[in-house]
Amino acid sequence: MTESHPQTIPLVTLLKDKAGLQEDRLKMLFSLGGEDFLKQILYTALDNMRHRSDGFEKSLDEKDYDTVHKLAHSIKSSAGNIGAPDVMALARTIEETDIPDPKKVRELRDKIRILHSQITKSLDIS
């Protein structure tokens, strides 16, 4: 953290504590453009992950595993960008499995919904 951004601590700490995001990633994003930039990145990543996870059921039903892998890859990238290691690890598992386990896919979808809620509530507080 730099002295020029003293407000970093409350927002970063809140997101780390309430949503389990990685502090170093949050600080790096903040350093690139401040609080508004950090919030925009978070909202964009969350929207991407929610949108992608909505496509899982149809792709699984159609046994379109290539699409499941592509969706998981996109989610993994978004999760990595915002420092969400649990979501990233589960997305990686799905991406690297020849025939994705529907239970794991549902677990990932649920984790994304929970993360979305945690981050949204944290940003509403800040």
Residues spanned by the domain of 115: 8-125
Task: Tell me if 54 is assigned to some domain.
Answer: yes
**pLDDT tens by residue, 74-113:** 999 999 999 999 999 999 999 999 999 999 999 999 999 9
Number of residues written out for the chain: 126
Q: Give the residue with greater pLDDT, 125 vs 28.
A: 28
Q: What is the 3-state secondary structure (H, E, C) of 73-110?
A: HHHHHHHHHHCCHHHHHHHHHHHHCCCCCHHHHHHHHH
Task: Tell me if 102 is assigned to some domain.
Answer: yes
pLDDT at residue 77, rounded to an integer: 97
What average pLDDT score do residues 46-66 get? 95
CATH number of the domain that 100 lies in? 1.20.120.160
**pLDDT tens by residue, 34-49:** 999 999 999 999 999 9
Determine contact, residues 30/9, Cβ cutoff 8 Å. Answer: no
d(CA 1, CA 23) in angstroms, rounded, equals 10
Nearest of 124, 122, 125 to residue 26 by alpha carbon: 122
Task: Tell me if 3 is assigned to some domain.
Answer: no
Look at the chain and report how many structural domains it folds into: 1
Continuous segment of H or E residues that includes residue 8: helix 8-19
